[in-house]
A and B are shown apart, each in its own frame.
Chain A
Amino acid sequence: MSIKRREFLGTVAAGSAIVTMPAFLSGCGVQQASAIADKTPANPFMDWFAVDQATVARVMSELTANGADAADLYFQHIRSNNLRLEDGIVSAASSDIQQGVGLRVVIGDQTGYAFTEDLTLPSMLAAARTASAIASRSAEVAPQSFDPMAMGALYSTSVPWADVGIDRKLPLLKMVESKAKAMDPAIDRVSVYWNDADERVMIATLDGRLVTDHRPMTRVTVTVNAKKGDEVQSGYSNIAAREDFNWYTEERLDTMVKEAVDRTMILFDARRPPAGEMPVILASGASGILLHEAIGHGMEADFNRKGTSIYSDMIGKKVAEPFVTVVDKATIPNERGALNYDDEGNAAGKTTLVENGILKSYLHDQISARQYGLNPTGSGRRESYKYAPMPRMSCTFMEDGPHTKEEIIASVDRGIICETYTNGQVQIGAGDYTFYVKNGWLVEGGKVTAPIKDVNIIGNGPESLRQITMVANDARLDTGGWTCGKNGQSVPVSQGIPTVLVSNMTVGGENVS
């Protein structure tokens, strides 16, 4: 999304570029793999992070020595593995371990933050003192023990990724490759990318709660090149979820491969649409990117408490037709954007952004919720222990409406229908947002006609909401591996939508004279 001004953070580290990657044996060292399975750990302090409760209490006390409205310790261990099949062989792998604790003090809307990767008492105390320097009140009474919350069950898996060796993954990558090559003789090159990750978090809060969560994640991407004469086209598809190895059924992989090949082969015939304003039909599923950009980010309450979002003064107002309802729901089992608890230790749930056309609720973290006098919506997320949390989306989608896909297509005399996307962005204040359409079709005289490709579409959030004139009854979540970036932090998200018609958007294209 927006606000990408910190290019320098990327460039300063250029001398020591790091590749990410992988595990195939167990043993992140802190515990045995079998201990990761999805039961609430008997003693998360020791089992997961090799610290004891007294140490955590001692650090919390230091962290809040200068006062605090809220404070938390965010222990995290992520182990991720990547594999790549290229030119017929699986010859590149990588693994990455990130372990650390983030320490945060909140006073009003002020935040002090530090982290350390060295989970010893002296290092944690030093980090706590650094974070506490934001505050200058008298010490808070810190808890001496923590009350463990029950572990959530949204993405319980039977086998942790740490127990799945390369010997099982490798044949799967090969199978994806051979399926893609078999689909069309024009396919002359296939690459397959694998990722899996086991993430464990333990959040200890100033009000004495102890939240633990085990968050698995996996994604497979296939890219293909197709060649006709001298012309080469490439395309891709991916699927992602908080799942285990058994999720990769042959049927699921077949669907992904077919999507990648279809999306690529159609590019030989696809053209640019005419440039300018026109009605735009968004096909069900991945078109949820509209919601993510046009309204989702603008409803994150950090922007609104500062007054910088176009939606800052719109709660309770009519923003769309009565058949438009948009929600952000973290509690959809196994979705990429699903969360049992957010990264502040609050139960994640469902927030209705727009209900029957009325703007209902922002997405809150603790800071904004306190400022608005509301309960947090469980939307405080962070990329890792290296960052303070902020309001973020989880699974954002629109509920079914009264129309059908066929009615919507039949209603358009001259426009386009968009099917696949690569990325989007939004300006929070002006409300202008864009998304990039990789594949779509012209719609002429109420019929889908010629394929189109590679056009950016731009609109204005509140205007587009008003211009959603039809909503079909075929809502579905996209299974692709979407990642949302905000202020330099990336988090996994999901999105979905039924087929909808936006009566007017600005479509990139060619000027026909």
Chain B
Amino acid sequence: MNTNYTKTRMLVLISVLVAQGMILGFIEKMLPMPFIVPGAKLGLANIVTLTAIYLLSFKQSLSVVVLRVLLSAVTFGSLSSFLYSLSGGILSLLVMAMLFKVLGDRINLITVSITGAVAHNLGQLLVASIILETPYILTYLPILMVVAIPTGIFVGIVARFLITYLKRTRFIS
């Protein structure tokens, strides 16, 4: 296959993933969710990050995350929401990419998703406790870790469907 051709395909795939991530984040804000604990959410955008990790290189996945967070902040958010999303997004990407690189198919995608959700919470709480100058925010972590398990399972299942489908289309070789 021609290299330019492959490059263009990758560019298209990254752009589509960024757009999907933005829309999923937007949809999530409109979904009426039961209030369990401050900060708990479905984390639908993680579907896109997981897909990137499983189908693309680390650099490409990183650009998917950074572009999604940046464009979402410019479109719907503010500076502080940008910092929270960025710290959560990058930390969860690092943890999930590491798990996938080290363990590959020996680890269930759903476990990667759950761990990513926990890392996302941790990243956000760390940044929040720095910005607000209070370590007590971290007391939300234990309950958020428990909530991350069902949400991580849901996100992992959806991501598995998407990844299986994309592999079958042979859009990426």
Binding partners A and B: no
